Chains A and B, each alone.
Chain A
Amino acid sequence: MNSIREIIREAESRNLSFYEVVLLKTTETTGKSASETLEFFRKTWTAMKESLRNALSPEFRSAAVLVKGDGRKYLGSSKRFLSPVVKRAVGYAMAIGEANASMCRIVAFPTGGAAGTIPGVLISYQEETSESDERMIEGLIVASGVGAVIGNRATLSGAEGGCQAECGAAAAMAAAALVYLENGTTSMIDHAVAIALKNVMGLICDPVAGLVEVPCIKRNAMATGLAFLASELALSGIRSVIPADEVIDAMKNVGRKLPEELKETALGGIATTPTGKRIAKELSSRREKFLKDQ
């Protein structure tokens, strides 16, 4: 799984879908049969739904330090600009982001920091369209195929590539799944991935006090909105001038050039604003008190 273009070429030459090619390539490289792969993703899909159910249940107790209840607040607000499916997805993504910050069980798909985006997009999509679980799992496999290409050509780690590699990759993966589920062409998947990643090129990872909360939870909201935008543009026939593989390579190069301060170390970006520094100082004095009280 090293090239989006290669997956598309194989799909076109053998008259297969993007999903079928990813499944075949997975069997070739890992030895896992199609039914084993589907079983794995059924568990993943179930765990995603459980994590959202937990995040929205009345029993949910937030243990987040800085951000509490944003997902729920947004879901309960009156309709303004976004369509219901997008709005719900954004609320879900933030709720799962907060559950992740609260040490709840989530699916790190592709990472913990970006764990809200893909379930947010896909669960809301299923509620809107009543699509079957089988088909949603195919969408998850499409998303994973795109994620594997990003991981192989570039990186999925914020410490290595910044937030473009985490929330950016999640947006691209979710956009690919949406194009697949909406019966877009395989080329449209390429364009959706390229459009999503181009729009977050260079996005840094600057967590306040090193916590996976600010800006991470709202970055999941952004990535969710971006997934719908990129897939809708691609589905309407809009093309990305730069192909997805080349955008991914550019993202890798940009990630390399980002200084360490802007890659998860909490030494730059919003982490070192006056407010960011004050929060970090408060948290470290709480930590020192915890250690002293032993």
Chain B
Amino acid sequence: MNIFDVAGPITLGPSSSHTAGIIRIGNIYRKLIKGNIQRVSITFYGSLAETFFGHRSHLAIIGGILGFKEDDERVKSAFDYARQAGLEFTFSADREFQPPHPVSLKIEGKSDMEELDIIGVSPGGGVAEIRRVWDFPVIIRSGTNTVLVLHRDTPGLLSRIAGRVFAFGINIGTAHLTRLKRGGEAILVLELDDPIDERLIKVIERIDGVMKVRTLESV
């Protein structure tokens, strides 16, 4: 721990795990879905199902989905901004589901282009993690340059994607490849050491077998 970890972050109160981290989960959702978000339904899990109301995590998640950052006071009026933006939202609590962490939630939603469901976790200190996307178990951390590639499980695909990243002179910090069944859909999560080049994304999208590419940049 250094002095920068101690001093801050500059954020909305009252609790970094129940506000800042939750706002970041919303921001990540906004980055992962294509098009204009029309409807979201939020499910609170674990201890968050009890504590969300007092800490106003319901405002935090809608504010984050609207693209407001963790120090943006518009989050306090997130419901009004959502109505203005034509974003419909509902909330529920699921106390049966065993979440990956006590402070977890699910976002199910759709835009004018696609549907997307994710599970997000706020482990503390304003950090956010995505633990499920496109029905795949993943770990995507806020503050990293991450590329997600949904593709068909075919031989050689990983090597082709890695080759393109290398051609742009970018180092891959971590890589996780998961598939649900042989020859079916698979997901590749790459954490890159450098900011993501838009042209690189275009190149990866053109690889045969790649279905969707999404990026997160230090959200």
Interface residues of A (CB under 8 A from B): 1, 22, 26, 29-30, 32, 37, 40-41, 43-44, 47, 63, 65, 99-113, 115, 140-141, 144-145, 147-148, 151-152, 156-157, 159, 173, 209-213, 283-284, 286-287, 290-291, 294
Contacts and interface: CB of A to CB of B under 8 A. Distances in A.
Given A1-B1, A29-B2, A105-B71, A287 B53 contact: yes
B56 A111 contact: no
Given A104-B12, A290-B91, A148 B5 contact: yes
A40 B54 contact: no
Contacts of B50: 210, 284, 287
A18 B54 CA distance: 41
Given A113-B15, A291-B91, A1 B10 contact: no
Contact of B11 (A106, A145, A284): A106
Given A287-B53, A291-B93, A105 B4 contact: no
A268 to B, nearest CB: 16
B76 interface: yes
Contacts of B27: none
Given A286-B53, A290-B91, A103 B6 contact: no
B54 A103 contact: no
A111 B15 CA distance: 8
27 contacts: A1-B1, A26-B3, A26-B4, A30-B4, A40-B7, A44-B7, A63-B56, A100-B13, A100-B14, A102-B13, A103-B19, A104-B76, A105-B11, A105-B12, A107-B9, A108-B16, A112-B15, A147-B3, A157-B124, A210-B54, A212-B15, A212-B55, A283-B54, A284-B53, A286-B53, A290-B58, A290-B91
Contacts of A284: 50, 53
Interface string B1-42: 111111111111111100100000000000000000000000
B73 interface: yes
A103 B13 contact: yes
A110 B14 contact: no
Contact of A108 (B11, B58, B75): B11
Interface in B90-118: 90-93
Most buried by A among B15, B50, B93, B124: B15
Given A103-B59, A144-B7, A212 B91 contact: no
A162 B198 CA distance: 46
Nearest to B11: A108
Contacts of B126: 108
Contact of B73 (A105, A156, A290, A291): A105
By size class, the interface of chain B is 35 or more
A67 B204 CA distance: 54
Interface string B42-84: 0000000011111110110000000000010101100000000
Nearest to A158: B15
B92 A148 contact: no
Given A103-B75, A291-B91, A1 B13 contact: no
B15 A152 contact: no
A144 B5 CA distance: 9
A287 B51 CA distance: 9
Contact of B1 (A106, A152, A209, A294): A152
B3 A104 contact: no
Contacts of A151: 1, 5-6
B14 A105 contact: no
B54 A107 contact: no
B4 A40 contact: yes
A32 B55 CA distance: 35
Contacts of A209: 54
Contact of B3 (A1, A103, A115, A159): A1
Contacts of B124: 157, 159
A219 to B, nearest CB: 14
A65 B59 contact: no
A101 B6 contact: no
Given A105-B73, A284-B50, A30 B13 contact: no
A105 B9 CA distance: 10
A148 B2 contact: yes
B15 to A, nearest CB: 5
Contacts of A283: 53-54
